Amino acid sequence: MKKLKITFILLIVVLMLLVSACSAKDPSTTKEKDETKSTTSDAKEEETKEEETKEPTTLEIFGPGRGFWDPEKNSALKVIMDKTNTILEVTIPEDRKQALTMRMASGDVPDIFTTGRFEYLDYIPTGYILDIKDLLDEYGQDILSECNPDAWPYVTISGKIYGVPLWNNSFKHLLVMRADWAKNLGIELSNPVSYGEYGESMTQDEFSALLLAFTYDDPDGNGEDDTYGYAAAEDYNLRTSFTSLFGMFGGQVEQYYDYDDGVLPYIVTDDYRAGLNYISEQWALKTIDPEIFLSKGEQVQQKIMNSKIGIYTGWWSTTGTLANDGIYDLAPEAEFTHIYTIGNDGRNGILNNGLLSGVTSISTQSENPEVAMQFLNFLSSDEGYNLAGYGIEGEHYTVLDTGHFVKTALGAEVYEQWLLDPLWNLTCRKDVENFQRAAPLGDDATPLQLTQLVFHVNSTMNTAPTYASIFYGHAVPAIETELGTDVKTHVDQMAIEFITGTADVNDDEVWAEYIAEWEKRGGKRILDAYVQGSNDVYGTNYTSGN
């Protein structure tokens, strides 16, 4: 019986081995066979080349995670395919990063794919991202003329260009004020916001006075002591929740700058210490929402809708969202304006979210990289951009004598169904064109429309100063992956302690301990790695500061 069992097991194992051997392909053999095939059929390819170029080329595109691909519902997509002589197979995966990683790992890479900001750096070692420098020179004239020239260095490594940089609005986290509260308290606004302008600027002292007034002077006139001067309308994050406040003190969290005595992260500098001190003073005065470290963004937005907050930092679209969600039902008198704050020493700025929103790359596996580049170039041309972003003139939109675009009923429907997004999100042209072409609102514009328009346009077109890290776009060193979380935990924890007064930020001994702990957890090693990487890859001459 035992022998029978052993024999049975051995038979199963042999069967499994046979099955797997028969189905497995030897990649090298396959490649050799393919190469042999290709060399022997070169002659035939030459003969049929003329015929083949007339046939549309199939391109598989792994697009950004927005919109729907439906040429039947959006005829502009068919026009694009006709004009580029392509058949497009567009995939808009829900979890783009995971899906693309799986495709790369399995060797089944699409012709064109987009990646998030600097994700492409992770894929370079796979060898699947094509250097498109030569293709750009030959076929990418519209891309080169339309893309932000400042963005190209971020997709170029050692002279190789790994993709088309997709445009990004750098101004994401804006400071917004209840302008009607300022009026209620008799505070003059000398520079109310309007289309194309940034908004109200104020000094640090004026800002501080405003926070106090919004907290203690009953700005909404309801007779209750229920308002706070400042809150963050997003999930708490040290990097973004106090961005404008730290901006008055010369920097932003998680950024590195080149100081006189070398490169340092902002979070170990005296400027940062001064910023923490200012915020802790406001905390002690109770002008900051006491739940700022705990609340979710939606909870804070609800407080704003209930007129509990006077000034908030939020995503650029937050105010438009509040308008859409019905803040004017709860507070018909509400008026909002951008503000930006200037420190007592004249420094100001907000977080720069970078020039890239993503990168569109061509695969080394693509059989038609020239066609892929020509297609991307077409999307950057006036004709292609209009087709991708607005549809067909006369069918989806009409053009007024003023040059503004007005959607037709069909165009509005296509737009509402997000059928115009897939290809439009592959281009590198500025989003601001949308609003330059949109017909301006008339005198009958509702507060909702005005709020939405102002806050989108201004965030797109403003030129307020921003802070950008000198290592923006650089590959994350391995040591940061290993130790970065620990360092960040320490910095975040100590920031809360300093702000709430649990630890005295003005105590030199406490500050020294904070710095020492930062170094002990690996902060200095991470700094050195960034400096070394920058010098090696980008030819800079940085040194680590002390």
Partner 1 sequence: MVIGSNKNFNLFNVILTISIGIFGIIMFYPFLNLIFISFSKYSDIVKNKGILFYPQGFNISAYQYVFRYNNFWPAYQNTVFITLIGTSLALFLTIIGGYVLSVRELPGRNFLTTIVVITMFFSGGLIPGYLNFRNLKLLDSLWVLIIPVSINTWYMLLARNFFQGIPTEILESAKIDGISEVSLILKIIIPLSLPIIATLSLFYGVGRWNEYTFAVLYNSKVELQTLQVVIRGMYQITPDDFQDMDNYVPPSETVRAATVIVATIPILCIYPFLQKYFAKGIMVGSVKG
Interacting residues with partner 1 (CB under 8 A): 5, 8-9, 23, 65-66, 68-70, 91-95, 98-99, 102, 105-106, 108, 298, 302, 305-306, 315, 317-318, 320-321, 324-327, 329-330, 407, 412, 415-419, 434, 438, 441, 449, 452-453, 456
State the minimum distance, in angstroms, from the CB of residue 311 to partner 1. 19
CA distance 494 to 505: 9
Secondary structure of 380-425 in HEC code, one letter for each residue: HCHHHHHHHHCCCECCCEEECCCCCEEECHHHHHHHHCCCCHHHHC
Pick 70 or 519: Cβ nearer partner 1: 70
CA distance 392 to 227: 50
State the minimum distance, in angstroms, from the CB of residue 321 to partner 1. 5
State the minimum distance, in angstroms, from the CB of residue 305 to partner 1. 5
**Which residues lie across from 232 on neighbouring strands?**
313
Would you list the DSSP string of 50-105?
HHHHHSPEEEEEE--S-S---TTT-HHHHHHHHHHTEEEEEE--SSHHHHHHHHHH
Give me the helix-helix angle, 382-389 and 369-380, nearest 10°. Answer: 80
Pick 315 or 472: Cβ nearer partner 1: 315
Which residue is associated with the tokens 């490649």?
A: 31
State the minimum distance, in angstroms, from the CB of residue 289 to partner 1. 16
Beta strand pairing status for 228-232 and 156-157?
unpaired
Name 106's Cβ contacts closer than 8 Å, sequence gap at least 6: none
State the minimum distance, in angstroms, from the CB of residue 283 to partner 1. 25
Pick 415 or 471: Cβ nearer partner 1: 415
State the minimum distance, in angstroms, from the CB of residue 288 to partner 1. 21
Pick 95 or 482: Cβ nearer partner 1: 95
Pick 117 or 407: Cβ nearer partner 1: 407
Pick 91 or 191: Cβ nearer partner 1: 91
Pick 70 or 206: Cβ nearer partner 1: 70
Pick 277 or 417: Cβ nearer partner 1: 417
Q: Is 153 helix (H, G, I), strand (E, B) or coil?
A: helix
* 518-544 CB burial, b ≥16 within 10 A, e <16: beebbbbbbbebbbebbeeebebebeb
Cα 121–252–477 angle (5° rounding)? 30
State the minimum distance, in angstroms, from the CB of residue 22 to partner 1. 12
- Check residue 151 and report its DSSP letter: G
State the minimum distance, in angstroms, from the CB of residue 182 to partner 1. 23
Secondary structure of 324-387 in HEC code, one letter for each residue: HHCHHHHCCCCCEEEEEEECCCCCCCEEECCCEEEEEEEECCCCCHHHHHHHHHHHHCHHHHHH
State the minimum distance, in angstroms, from the CB of residue 348 to partner 1. 26
- End-to-end CA, the chain: 76
CA 264 to chain centre: 24
Which burial class, exposed, middle or buried, applies to 188 when counting CB atoms under 10 A from its CB (0-12, 13-18, 19+)? exposed
Pick 377 or 452: Cβ nearer partner 1: 452
Pick 298 or 486: Cβ nearer partner 1: 298
Q: Which amino acid, residue 8?
A: F
CA 115 to chain centre: 11
State the minimum distance, in angstroms, from the CB of residue 30 to partner 1. 14
CA distance 9 to 15: 10
State the minimum distance, in angstroms, from the CB of residue 438 to partner 1. 8
Pick 58 or 489: Cβ nearer partner 1: 58
Which burial class, exposed, middle or buried, applies to 261 when counting CB atoms under 10 A from its CB (0-12, 13-18, 19+)? exposed
State the minimum distance, in angstroms, from the CB of residue 298 to partner 1. 7
Pick 34 or 137: Cβ nearer partner 1: 34
State the minimum distance, in angstroms, from the CB of residue 75 to partner 1. 16
Residue 128 has phi, psi (to 5 degrees) of -95, -5
Name 545's Cβ contacts closer than 8 Å, sequence gap at least 6: 259, 261, 262, 263, 264, 527
Pick 276 or 379: Cβ nearer partner 1: 379
State the minimum distance, in angstroms, from the CB of residue 460 to partner 1. 11
Pick 256 or 385: Cβ nearer partner 1: 385
Where are the alpha helices (H) located in 140-290, listed in sequence order?
141-146, 179-184, 204-216, 238-241, 243-247, 270-284
